Amino acid sequence: MHYAERIRALREDNDKTQTEIALLLKIGQKTYSDYELGKTRIPVDSLIVLAKLYNVSMDYICGVSNTRNAFPHK
C-alpha cells in the first residue's frame, strides 16, 4: 500500500477530516487532499507528525510494513 492510501485510511479510521489534519500540519486542506491523492509528495516531517498522531510506525505509514506497530516514543 502506498503512503497516500495509508494516510487516507488512517484518517478515516480515526474519524478525522482533511481539514482537521491540514490544520494540524499547518497547511491548506487542498494541499492535504493532494497528499492523499498522491499528487504531491508529503514531507517527511509531516509523515512523522501523522505517525505520532495515529501511533503507528513510519514503516507502517509509508507502506513498507503491514504490521501496525506503535510509534517509538523516547
- Going residue by residue through the chain, which has 74 residues, state the pLDDT in tens, using 9 for 90 and above: 689 999 999 999 999 999 999 999 999 999 999 999 999 999 999 999 999 999 999 999 998 999 888 888 76
pLDDT at position 73 is 72
State residue 1's pLDDT score: 62
* Global pTM value: 0.90
Query: Which pLDDT score, from 0 to 100, does residue 11 have?
Result: 97
Please give the CATH superfamily to which domain 3-61 belongs.
lambda repressor-like DNA-binding domains (1.10.260.40)
The full DSSP string for the chain is --HHHHHHHHHHHTT--HHHHHHHHTS-HHHHHHHHHTSSPPPHHHHHHHHHHHT--HHHHTTS-SS-PPP---
* pLDDT score recorded for residue 67: 86
Domain limits, the chain: 3-61
Residue 60 CA to residue 73 CA, distance in Å, equals 15
